């Protein structure tokens, strides 16, 4: 089988230089994913032959939800997976399922949105300034939602919103947006996994593909999810996306590719090979000003991948985003797969996720700055990434200037202008950052019972 695969790779994959094939420890692999457009690097690496070009025979399997996906990687049913960035971090520190999961590859930037029902949108609109053309000014602050929440509560109805998983980017982005607008999204406490302690808005888990139907049924009043499920609400006429994560935090980190620490230790060459394939896929997705996006949309629309209509996927994947029906705006960086060093696993990205876990009580006790740095370095593996990137450059398959060779793993601090609440983020100072956020745990504060103490 290995000889057959190597022969196919040599005969079917065109490249500027014939690369030296790695001596793979394992070449038949099964990777998991959730049906979201940001799984695109996996689909492209498969369909464009990049996995095969590395001598990898890959099977891609859609998973029912994020918990099933994580369990599959831990128990070895899956060799690796498209993951929420919070999953490897949470597993490694023992929040929820405990296991040492790592990532050598970040899959994308941006790509999420927050959608509300038509009813809620009509209630919000009087609170939103308009442009000269009569359309709502963006970004829309959650302060426009505050009086709506008050009205629901006054009528004896809790205001509920969905997100995809407790350690998902979507959870943290939704919480960030709400808190930036003065609404408390609630805390996690000892033995409390709901995250609804002291909440103004009640958040709960709904799998991504089920978001539109759950909204339509009235079970939730809004949700935070990746594409194409915000655009699906627009096409179905059941909801309005009010803000994108690009507007919450410009070029924020999103999904990662996760594997167990044992896998990469036992299979270093295989890990390098799959990272090479994913980098090539990311380059293809962004090259020539997104010239390949229409082809990517067609690939993703197939039932074995995302399975949504091409028109729905294209609405955000090709550089635009539709808010209200007909309100289509240019958002060329809504999905970024390679630009801005999107695929590099920055320690500072990991630190941000950890600060949000601490902010909302998933990390119940105060931690010093060094703890954040140490966890980030246990989980994020830029050494593997740069080794794979260097080999691609040497093989003529990637540009020398496409990678941050000199970085220490920490991005330049994100300026206030790029974040919706105007609070800058510096991954080198996690506790100072936590102290700067008006809503959330800081210092020695912790949740005791149903209240914050300290």
Closest CA to 425 of 355, 344, 339: 355
Does residue 2 register a pLDDT over 80? no
Residue 19 — very low, low, confident or very high, per pLDDT cuts 50/70/90? low
Instruction: Show the domain range for 139.
Output: 112-250+416-427+434-453
pLDDT in tens, 298-316: 999 999 999 999 999 998 9
Q: What is the mean pLDDT of residues 139-146?
A: 98
**Percent of all residues in the chain with a pLDDT value above 90, rounded to a whole number:** 92
Same domain, 219 and 271: no
Total domain count for the chain? 2
Same domain, 104 and 116: no
Same domain, 257 and 398: yes
pLDDT in tens, 409-452: 999 999 999 999 999 999 999 999 999 999 999 999 999 988 99
Same domain, 126 and 226: yes
Same domain, 148 and 49: no
Q: Does residue 106 contact residue 383 with C-beta atoms inside 8 Å?
A: no
The first and second tokens of residue 211, run together, are 């978001």
Mean pLDDT (the chain, rounded): 94
Same domain, 196 and 117: yes
pLDDT in tens, 425-436: 999 999 999 999
Does residue 347 register a pLDDT over 90? yes
Q: Which residue has the higher pLDDT, 28 or 22?
A: 28
The first and second tokens of residue 122, run together, are 């009509």
Helix axes 310-317, 229-236, angle to 10 degrees: 120
Q: What is the mean pLDDT of residues 375-391?
A: 98
Q: Does residue 117 contact residue 239 with C-beta atoms inside 8 Å?
A: yes
Does residue 46 register a pLDDT over 90? yes
Query: Does residue 410 sit within a domain?
Result: no
């Amino acid at each position: 089988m290995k000889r057959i695969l190597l022969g196919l790779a040599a005969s079917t994959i065109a490249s500027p230089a014939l690369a030296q094939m790695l001596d793979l420890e394992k070449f038949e692999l099964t990777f998991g994913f959730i049906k979201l457009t940001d799984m695109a690097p996996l689909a492209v690496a498969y369909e464009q032959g990049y996995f095969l070009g590395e001598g990898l025979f890959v099977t891609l399997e859609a998973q029912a939800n994020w918990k099933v996906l994580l369990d599959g990687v831990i128990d070895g049913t899956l060799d690796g997976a498209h993951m929420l960035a919070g999953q490897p971090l949470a597993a490694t520190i023992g929040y929820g399922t405990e296991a040492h999961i790592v990532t050598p590859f970040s899959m994308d930037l941006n790509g999420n949105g927050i959608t509300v029902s038509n009813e809620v949108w009509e209630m919000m609109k009087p609170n939103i300034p308009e442009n000269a053309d009569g359309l709502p000014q963006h970004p829309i602050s959650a302060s426009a939602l505050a009086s709506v929440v008050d009205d629901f509560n006054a009528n004896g109805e809790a205001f509920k919103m969905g997100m995809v998983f407790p350690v998902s980017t979507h959870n943290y982005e939704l919480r960030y947006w709400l808190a930036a607008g003065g609404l408390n999204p609630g805390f996690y406490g000892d033995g409390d996994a709901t995250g609804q302690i002291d909440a103004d808005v009640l958040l709960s888990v709904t799998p991504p593909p089920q978001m539109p139907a759950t909204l339509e049924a009235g079970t939730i009043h809004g949700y935070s999810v990746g594409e194409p499920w915000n655009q699906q609400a627009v096409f179905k006429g059941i909801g309005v996306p009010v803000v994108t994560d690009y507007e919450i935090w410009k070029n924020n980190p999103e999904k990662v590719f996760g594997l167990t620490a044992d896998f990469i230790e036992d299979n270093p060459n295989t890990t390098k090979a799959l990272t090479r394939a994913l980098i090539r896929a990311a380059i293809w997705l962004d090259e020539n000003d997104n010239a390949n996006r229409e082809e990517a949309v067609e690939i993703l629309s197939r039932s074995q991948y995302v399975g949504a209509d091409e028109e729905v996927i294209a609405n955000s994947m090709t550089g635009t985003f539709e808010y209200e029906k007909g309100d289509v705006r240019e958002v060329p960086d809504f999905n970024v797969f390679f630009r801005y060093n999107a695929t590099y696993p920055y320690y500072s990205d990991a630190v941000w996720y950890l600060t949000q876990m601490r902010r909302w009580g998933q990390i119940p006790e105060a931690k010093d700055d060094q703890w954040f740095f140490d966890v980030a370095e246990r989980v994020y593996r830029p050494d593997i990434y740069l080794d794979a990137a260097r080999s691609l450059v040497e093989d003529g398959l990637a540009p020398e200037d496409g990678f941050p060779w000199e970085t220490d793993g920490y991005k330049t601090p994100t300026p206030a202008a790029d974040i919706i609440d105007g609070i800058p983020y510096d991954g080198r100072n996690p506790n100072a950052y936590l102290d700067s956020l008006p809503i959330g745990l800081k210092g020695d504060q912790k949740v005791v019972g149903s209240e914050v103490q300290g």
